[in-house]
Chains A and B, each alone.
Chain A
Amino acid sequence: MKLTVLKAAATAVGVTLALSACGGGEGPAAAGGPTTLTVSVWNYEQTPEFKALFDAFEAANEDIDVQPVDILADDYPEKVTTMLAGGDTTDVITMKNVVEYARYAGRGQLQEVGDVAEAAGGDKLAGLDDFDLDGSTFAVPYRQDFWLLYYNKALFDAAGLPHPERMTWSEYRDLAQRLTAGEGEQKVFGTYHHTWRSVVQSVADAQSSGDQLSGDYDFFAPQYDVDLELQESGAALDYATAAAQKTSYRTMFETGRAAMLPMGTWYIAGIKQAKDAGKSDVEWGMAPLPQRDGGDDVTTFGSPTAFAVNKNAKNTEAAKRFLEFAAGEEGAKAIAAVGVVPAYTDPEITEAFFQVPGLPADEGSKEAFEPGEVVLEMPVSEFSGDVDTILNEEHQLVMVGEKSVTEGIAAMEERVRDEVLG
């Protein structure tokens, strides 16, 4: 009896060891077989651009097999930081935002790819300048998102209002109030402002001479006034409710509970996906983000997304080929086909973009798609992360009404100066 138990245990241990040995060791790559290129991505299933790019790249390069390293979007920056610190050998690292990029590049964790950026399109790549660190480039942007105004055509028609075009924030506020109707669960809000601080602060930064890293925040005030008036008049869901319910901006817009929505262009692919899946039947269009002043110029904010080559990459050559492909014309075509805005700007690509089924084809939407200037959502410096934390904390207090705009701005200035810049 005892013996059999022992035997069984020994067998179990043996089997486990054998299995783990098999699982742990990487089989030697077959000589002459395809190179495996690893690329870090987030939420692979829900982010169709990655698959579109990988499929197109593999079709064009049969000797390379792309292997995504999928990471949860919320944990992406922390996970990549840890990976790079641990000497991970993933070949291509996707740069979700410029602040993180500056951190990795500053630590010498990325390879210089200035020549790849030139080969991919050079000046045609929107947002390339944002990756310039003292004359060197360590990542190549492949998509460029910026903010514009989404609107629900059916709700505008029902209210007998013309579809929106370029307008000022005060015109926008009045419009939102006129579009608000109904009560309780049936209430339709004129607009929905998501809980991110950029909805107020990055708009103010882009459309004034202010700078979010300066420690001087008076330029936020007019924008806060617009936001607070919208929520106080009931034309927008109030911040406290949105934060407590963790309201999804997608649900608000796709179910027709909000007639307008200022949001980034990444959401184009989201609406398309929802409509393709039959989850939403919203008829939508795009208008430029409302502006501070009258006139014709359109200034908005946004941020590019880029690919970089890991310093410890196993396949540097293949990785650079991927960067050039993804950021260049062919990559742009592949991601435009799924409704994602490529960094590579070319009238032909824009034309192709609006050919995608499920996208609005009206002239207004096409115009909204070409803003005059796109300012970086958050300027890059070694202090970006700390300033972001403080601005976000004080933003919450102003939006839930615990601090007045003046008090909130005073607290932001004091804390940024004392805790960060000091």
Chain B
Amino acid sequence: MALTDASRPALRRHGDPRQVRRNTLIGWSFILPNFLGFAALTLLPVVAALGLSFMKWNSYSDPEWVGLANFERMLGNETFWVALKNTTYYAAGHIPLTMAAALGLAILLNEKLRGVGFFRTALFFPYITSLVAVAVVWNMLFNPTAGPVNLLLEALGVADPPGWTTSSDWAMPAVIITSVWRDMGYYMVIYLAGLQAIPPEYYEAAQVDGANAWQRFRNVTLPCLRPTTFLVLVMVTVGSFKVFDLIVVMTDGGPGRATTVLSQLIYREGIREGRFGYASAISLVLFLIVLTVTVLQFKVQERRER
């Protein structure tokens, strides 16, 4: 059945070129509206930014070709390296923690518990809450002297709780905790969908074979979730490297440069200082980093699937 169905269009394609052209055009017409929007609002600016990164442009006068000067400047600029380090730090904390929290919650809420619908909704809530509100409220929670986080730590016997957003060492962990809290509900939903697609027979078979809970998780759940995990990994990675809004509202890159990230530097150099060429060069580097990481992830995934 499947075979005949699949072979039919193939036969037709060879048989009737007009029909093929017609189908192609119809196909194009379906993606055209989306593609036009994408081309005008995303593709063109991306290509323009690529070109701009080799130019000097203040958005008003004519751009001037400067070759690699923007990149030289960037490599010699300490703030760029600080921002790169901070972005990596954020990603290294945000990606694994978000994925672990999302998976853990998904497994918990995949059970048939009473009120599971309520908990799923509650956990998804942070994601649809305004990010500014999230940042402001967490800032209050992290208040070093009067915030509930430190009051709790003190009650637990921590003598000298961290200064969170007012301390260079603790500002980034504070931001990471907040963003994990915000994002985990969203990825939990994706994991839940993945979990529900695992046939229960696998678990039954494993149980019959005497596998305990941990073995079932290792050998049934994780392998079956691999496509979902990959999707989540790619999405979290991309989101992580382009983090901007949360940091701007929570710490604005401070104290000092403790939480300044690349996207913030791009905004500052481009929009505020009017150095669009230099800002484009930084964004090109950010793009290449994200591209490399994603391509690596795809390669690893491909190898595993083989």
Q: Which of B1-9, B153-161, B239-247, B267-275 touches A?
A: B267-275
> Known contacts being A78-B271, A85-B60, is A419 close to B255, with CB within 8 Å?
no
B53 contacts the other chain (CB 8 A): no
Contacting A244 at CB < 8 Å: which of B164, B268, B271?
A: B164
A109 contacts the other chain (CB 8 A): yes
A7 contacts the other chain (CB 8 A): no
| CB proximity of B280 to chain A, nearest CB, Å | 15
B187 contacts the other chain (CB 8 A): no
B256 contacts the other chain (CB 8 A): yes
Bound together, the chains give a CA A245 to CA B166 distance in angstroms of 10
> Known contacts being A385-B273, A418-B78, is A244 close to B254, with CB within 8 Å?
no
Chain A neighbourhood of B78, CB < 8 A = 415, 418-419
Do B139 and A244 have beta carbons less than 8 Å apart? yes
Nearest residue, chain B, Cβ from A386: B273
Bound together, the chains give a CA A17 to CA B101 distance in angstroms of 47
Contacting B168 at CB < 8 Å: which of A82, A85, A402?
A: A402
Interface residues on A, range: 20 to 34
Do B255 and A397 have beta carbons less than 8 Å apart? yes
Contacts from B to A (Cβ < 8 Å) = 58-61, 77-79, 139-140, 142-147, 163-168, 253-257, 268, 271-274
> Known contacts being A244-B143, A244-B164, A397-B256, is A107 close to B272, with CB within 8 Å?
no
Residues A346-399 near B (CB distance < 8 A): 385-386, 389, 393-394, 396-397
Interface residue SS majority, chain B = loop
Chain A neighbourhood of B168, CB < 8 A = 397, 402
A16 contacts the other chain (CB 8 A): no
A255 contacts the other chain (CB 8 A): no
Bound together, the chains give a CA A285 to CA B143 distance in angstroms of 33
| CB proximity of A255 to chain B, nearest CB, Å | 17
| CB proximity of B87 to chain A, nearest CB, Å | 17
Residues A226-246 near B (CB distance < 8 A): 240-241, 243-246
Bound together, the chains give a CA A245 to CA B164 distance in angstroms of 12
Nearest residue, chain B, Cβ from A393: B256
Bound together, the chains give a CA A397 to CA B168 distance in angstroms of 8
| CB proximity of A217 to chain B, nearest CB, Å | 16
Bound together, the chains give a CA A82 to CA B272 distance in angstroms of 10
Do A108 and B60 have beta carbons less than 8 Å apart? yes
Complex A-B: 6 CB contacts under 8 Å: A108-B60, A241-B145, A244-B165, A245-B143, A385-B273, A400-B166
Residues A66-92 near B (CB distance < 8 A): 77-78, 81-82, 84-85
- In addition to A108-B60, A244-B139, A397-B168, 11 A-B residue pairs with Cβ atoms within 8 Å of each other are A78-B271, A82-B59, A82-B271, A103-B274, A244-B164, A244-B165, A244-B166, A389-B268, A396-B255, A402-B167, A419-B79
Bound together, the chains give a CA A389 to CA B77 distance in angstroms of 14
> Known contacts being A81-B274, A389-B268, is A241 close to B77, with CB within 8 Å?
no
Bound together, the chains give a CA A82 to CA B271 distance in angstroms of 8
Nearest residue, chain B, Cβ from A394: B256
Do A81 and B271 have beta carbons less than 8 Å apart? yes
Of all A-B residue pairs in the complex, the 6 with the closest CB atoms, nearest first, are: A240-B166, A85-B59, A397-B256, A396-B255, A107-B60, A393-B256
